Amino acid sequence: MKKQPNMQDHPFVDQRIVETLEKNFMPYAMSVIVSRAIPEIDGFKPAHRKILYTMYKMKLLKGNKTKSANVVGQTMKLNPHGDQAIYATLVRLTRGNDALLLPFIDSKGNFGKVTSRDMKFAAARYTEVKLDGICEELFLDIDKNTVEFVDNYDGSMKEPTLLPTTFPNILANPNKGIAVGMASNFPSFNLKELCEATIAYTQDPDVDLIKIMPAPDFPTAGELVYSQSEMRKIYENGVGSFKMRGKIQYLKSENMLEITEIPYTTTVEQIIDKIIEMIKAGRIKEINDLRDETDLKGLKIAIDLKRGTDPDKLIAKLFKFTTLEDSFPCNMNLLINGRPKVLGVKAIINEWLIFRRLCIKRGAEFDIERLKERLHLLYGLRKVLLDIDLAIKIIRETKTDKLVLPNLMEAFEIDVDQANFVADIKLRNLNQEYILSRVDDIESLEKELKRLEELIASDKKIDKVIVKDLNRIIKQYAKPRLSTLVSPEDIITHDAEEQIEDYNLKIFFTAHNYFKKVSLVSWRSSGDHKIKEDDEILQELDGSNKDEILFFTNQNNVYKMKMHEIDDHKVSSLGVYLPNILGLDDKEEVLYCVLTSDFKGHMLFGFENGKVARVPLESYKTKTNRKKLIKAYSDEAKLIRMEFCLEDEDLTMIREDEKGEVRAVIFSSALVTEKITKNTKGIQVFRMKKRSLISGFFKTVRHPFENLDRYRISDVPKSGEALDPFEKMTFNKWNK
């Protein structure tokens, strides 16, 4: 009996490692590279393409949304992976997930967020999807043999190897893939800039694309630290990296930081975890509280600061030690005819143009074939037009059905297809009008055939079609750039002003201390003001959202705020109640507002004792951006009124005495000596006598009198000129 071999004696079988790699590892590696992880010239990996094509076949381009589970189930006919893998891929393509600059799927329901690590998407049975409008450009003429179709994994149906995209989608969205031994990482570019750059390249291959399309653009916005020399290397080689930063705003009124945009490469949780880690390690001591306040309005991380914190220094720390500043490594590796290539931006656009020209040619060839078939039938019909009666006679007198076609072919010298076409015409259509109308189509079809043949023969004409498509896409789908570009020099010290939206404003201040900030656009398209019945508008100012506003109060204080810190209002609203946002003391109220961007000009304070103080607005400017300044003007005498003058202006002062005499002077503000001290007592402008006081102080442009020259003075102080009875009555009426 033959002895059985003992496996314990030889537990391993010697194998050549090279042969093992070739047989087992290489096919797997090639499959991952070619069929899974690396995108192709249409901008898609196979998994994405299968989902979108399935939805196209489900007629979800024009129809209503359907449950995501339906799409996942249908996609499994093309994709042998499980439903969870398919659904996770679909989620990234949706508008709700915000992962793409140009979403392909219009979605309803919770699809998570690319900015969140922990926010999970809802199950496929709860969410709904359909194809977004841009997908019309992905599938244009796909049924005209523009691209190759192959069998699916079980041979039961066909699927496209590529989609005939009418724009260079490969550069329109972020795309990351990790294969075996190689990887791919594409940034996204603004659709308008990308299409314009492609148009420019078709017209001049030597065009400098970076002037048209300066840098990538990302769906999470943020700031891109822009160096043109570094970006040019990425454009040329397809490899390199650039830095991205989030956007942080300091809200002085609340003493907090708000993070509203983050780099595409990070998540909210990642940033928060790192900040908490730094707080525990004692590297950050300026933070009181940290919250994720992201909601339906958008992303927001709120950071409450301790009193006395320098926000600029803290912001610099956050950028340095967290992923609020992160690098995006570019590796533009894509498959060209099944071979991976790392290409620069211009080379990718060139490859896409080669692909797109082929798609247009194939589509034109498809149309030519159909046109020729149609013309061939119409040519036969035209021959029948010569003798309709003979055609009817042949059909009527032919004894057997199978002889109808041969008899028609012989009588009119037409082939079997043409004879079939004639024989299949309905009896009611066998009239001269119908046949003539069909024959008239020949001329238009011949023109279209000639146009298509000329199109196929000319790359210039094909490029005109491409440019026409790109211009249409710009018109229909272009959106403003989201990621702003900042130069490295600009980020050495953090400038919060760069994050403030700049637009023109109308400012309204009322006697009851209501303050209304209205954008100029909203003001022009609005109706009447809404104010309380017994209230009135004291000031109407023009300015910008980047301006600073000073509020002078009756307790000799001035409160300062940035205009962007105050919410916009509609004209039809009451506005904001100033004591609430300024934190005024009891019985403290705002008397006057000044809007400024550069602190130029001066304040003039008219007091009851006849003195006028002139203080440069620059005196209220502080390096630390303090909110409240005390002793903003003198409290020695009662304030009659204050006025802001950008340049020297004429001012009027009115004095009354116990006998009822009213006197006035008109003087230039240049006569008042300027004092840097805010609470200066001023200089005597009006000579006072016993039991007299100043009752009016205002800019002369608002003067109610006709004869101004008799009140004008060239030096101070003066006793002024008395008002005659009529002028006195006019003033009393006006002063009310």
Residues annotated as catalytic (active site), given as ranges: 126
Q: What tokens does 718 get?
A: 């003066």
| Cβ contact 308:288 at 8 Å | no
Q: Is 171 helix (H, G, I), strand (E, B) or coil?
A: helix
| Cβ contact 478:191 at 8 Å | yes
Distance CA 151, CA 710 (A): 101
DSSP designation for 723 = P
| Cβ contact 39:170 at 8 Å | yes
Contacts of 334 (CB under 8 A, 6+ apart): 38, 39, 40, 41, 170, 184, 186, 340, 341, 343, 348
User: Around Cβ 237, how many Cβ atoms within 10 Å?
Assistant: 15
- Identify the helix (H) or strand (E) that includes residue 389: helix 388-397
Q: Count CA atoms within 13 Å of residue 561 on its CB side.
A: 20
Picking from 128, 129, 147, 127, the residue whose alpha carbon sits closest to that of residue 138 is 147
Residue recorded with tokens 């070619």 = 34
User: Around Cβ 143, how many Cβ atoms within 10 Å?
Assistant: 10
Residue recorded with tokens 């004209």 = 571
Distance CA 311, CA 314 (A): 5
Picking from 608, 619, 614, the residue whose alpha carbon sits closest to that of residue 651 is 614
Q: What tokens does 83 get?
A: 């439903």
Would you list the DSSP string of 515-571? EEEEEHHHHHT-------TT--EEEEEEEETT-EEEEEETTS-EEEEEGGGSPP--T
Distance CA 61, CA 59 (A): 5
CA of 17: how far to CAs of 25, 179, 563, 633, in Å?
A: 10, 22, 71, 90
Q: What tokens does 236 get?
A: 């040329």
The crossing angle, in degrees rounded to 10, of helices 268-280 and 311-321 is 110
Burial class, 384, CB count within 10 angstroms (exposed 0-12 / middle 13-18 / buried 19+): buried
Distance CA 720, CA 700 (A): 15
Picking from 712, 563, 670, 562, the residue whose alpha carbon sits closest to that of residue 625 is 562
Distance CA 305, CA 286 (A): 6
Contacts of 274 (CB under 8 A, 6+ apart): 321, 322, 323
Picking from 128, 97, 130, the residue whose alpha carbon sits closest to that of residue 112 is 97
Q: Please report, to the nearest 10 degrees, the dihedral formed by the alpha carbons of residues 618, 600, 549, 255 taken in order.
A: -50
Residues in the chain: 736
CA angle 319–321–327, rounded 5-degree value = 65
Rg (CA), the chain: 39
Q: Please report, to the nearest 10 degrees, the dihedral formed by the alpha carbons of residues 670, 675, 679, 682 taken in order.
A: -50
Distance CA 609, CA 636 (A): 9
Picking from 54, 183, 213, the residue whose alpha carbon sits closest to that of residue 130 is 54
Picking from 717, 723, 652, 729, the residue whose alpha carbon sits closest to that of residue 689 is 717
Distance CA 189, CA 234 (A): 13
Distance CA 305, CA 174 (A): 35
Residue recorded with tokens 């005196």 = 619
Query: Cα dihedral sign for 125, 127, 133, 135?
Result: negative
